[in-house]
Amino acid sequence: MTAELATPESSEMDRLHTIFANQKKAFEAERHRPIEQRKADLKKIEDMVKARADDFAAAIDADFSRRSAGETAVAETGFTIATAKHTRQHLSQWASAKKKPVPMTLAPGKAYVRREPKGVVGIIAPWNYPMQLALAPLVAALGAGCRVMIKPSEFTPRTSELLREVLGELFSEDHVAVIEGGPDVAAAFSSVPFDHLFYTGSTHVGRIVAKAAAENLTPVTLELGGKSPTVIAPDFDIAEAAKTIAWGKFLNAGQTCVAPDYALVPRGSEQAFGEAVMSEADRMWPNVAENDDYTAIVSERHHTRLTEMVEEARKSGATVLQADFEASKAGNTRLFPPTVVINPSRDLQLMQEEIFGPVLPVLGHDGLTDAARTINEGDRPLALYIYSKSPRTARGFLAKTMSGGVGVNVPMLHLSVEDLPFGGVGHSGQGAYHGEYGFLTFTHERAVFEAPVWHPSRMIQPPYGKMFEFFKKLQA
């Protein structure tokens, strides 16, 4: 291609393939990066995030047109630091060979599992938590000893540029590299024959990524989403439940994959619960138009989609509760106020798609069996939240349903427990990470059996005779 015809997208695609080739060569030259060097890699990320926290907050704020600095500190920088520290502290244990018992019929011998890096891996990160969801998988991959290429979202260009800058200062491109660009670059990235591909984003795009990876038989981890339900049992006070559900729903303006997507409450309490949620939203984010703690919607297209969802519900006759909001005071930010929709019809867009915004549909249920039936009629969600005073009741409800993860009496916090796997099931994803589960995602567990120079197995080779019959009796 001539220089005159080259475009930023085509140049980045050329860079993508060059870096992949260089990382493959680098991995072959150092297939087993020493554990202490891996720990040093993680410490560099930890220190960088601490040093550049304000820069990341400013970049994300600019990308969203308003992103709460407090939310960035908790959900992005603080989360990433904790992940890097936890992985670094446990890495030696995770990476050690795991001894396995040898059956009597195969003795003497040693059996163990070697935990080895898969090689060169790709990470496709989304826009909703553009720092955390790029760096947390990176931590897991580097801990496993892999080489890593990251494709951030084009919807958060300033954060993507900052990621490329800071990681370029810490690592050579044949170790860690950031590839920027739009959908064409993302499609090319998905088609690279990585040793593992890690994607976080929508179910729709996840299908496309999985198909592209399948052409190369590349294993994939898909961290998707879906309509995560929140259920209030009859024994739980709805006003008390509203305190944490409002926080979980409206954090990051609902742009969180594990945010409560809709609520199922005891029939007859829908209006009271909706009003309680709105009261809590007003307490936490008063005057949302001018409140810097309330985050904007990432793009005009997404803002329009949310507006159309709510207007469709309103026209259908559903009751819509919405925080007081003067758009003129919001400046040029893409704000969407906290909203509750009471008893929307199941055929509305609001109930057919993951909302991914600050809109909470509230529906009635006729008991937990009815609530479970409603949930099970849809795709398996990424998260499920059950509120009950009785642990037995809550656990009984879990036995009737399936989801990627669960929160009992609180939303979202299960993903902050480093030793719990985070991932979906069915349409909400496949594979998991966080803690050791993340390390294992990018690790090949290699089975090894070591026999002495002479092993009794020679005695059961053909021609089969009395010794073979003896070994058959041992196995009976």
Q: How far apart (Å, rounded) are the C-alpha atoms in residues 218 and 196?
A: 6
Q: 3-class DSSP state for residue 348?
A: coil
Per-residue pLDDT of the chain (476 residues; tens, 9 = 90+): 334 445 667 788 889 999 999 999 999 999 999 999 999 999 999 999 999 999 999 999 999 999 999 999 999 999 999 999 999 999 999 999 999 999 888 889 999 999 999 999 999 999 999 999 999 999 999 999 999 999 999 999 999 999 999 999 999 999 999 999 999 999 999 999 999 999 999 999 999 999 999 999 999 999 999 999 999 999 999 999 999 999 999 999 999 999 999 999 999 999 999 999 999 999 999 999 999 999 999 999 999 999 999 999 999 999 999 988 877 777 767 999 999 999 999 999 999 999 999 999 999 999 999 999 999 999 999 999 999 999 999 999 999 999 999 999 999 999 999 999 999 999 999 999 999 999 999 999 999 999 999 888 877 788 888 777 777 777 76
Residue with tokens 């990251």: 150
For the chain, give the longest Cα–Cα distance.
93
Q: Which two tokens stand for residue 214?
A: 């399948």
Question: End-to-end alpha-carbon separation of the chain, Å?
Answer: 69
**Exposure of 340 by Cβ count < 10 A (0-12 exposed, 13-18 middle, 19+ buried)?**
buried
In CATH, which superfamily holds the domain spanning 229-423?
Answer: Aldehyde Dehydrogenase; Chain A, domain 2 (3.40.309.10)
> pTM of the prediction?
0.93
- Quick one: DSSP state of residue 442? T
Q: Given this structure, which CATH class describes domain 8-224+429-448?
A: alpha beta
Q: Residues with catalytic annotation?
A: 223, 257
Give per-residue pLDDT as tens, 374-425.
Answer: 999 999 999 999 999 999 999 999 999 999 999 999 999 999 999 999 999 9
pLDDT for 6 equals: 53
**What pLDDT is stored for residue 4 in this prediction?**
46
For the chain, the structural domain boundaries read 8-224+429-448, 229-423
pLDDT for position 459:
78
Residues 6+ apart with CB under 8 A from 16: 149, 179, 185, 188, 189, 192
Following DSSP, what letter does each residue of 304-324 receive, concatenated?
HHHHHHHHHHHHTT-EEEE--
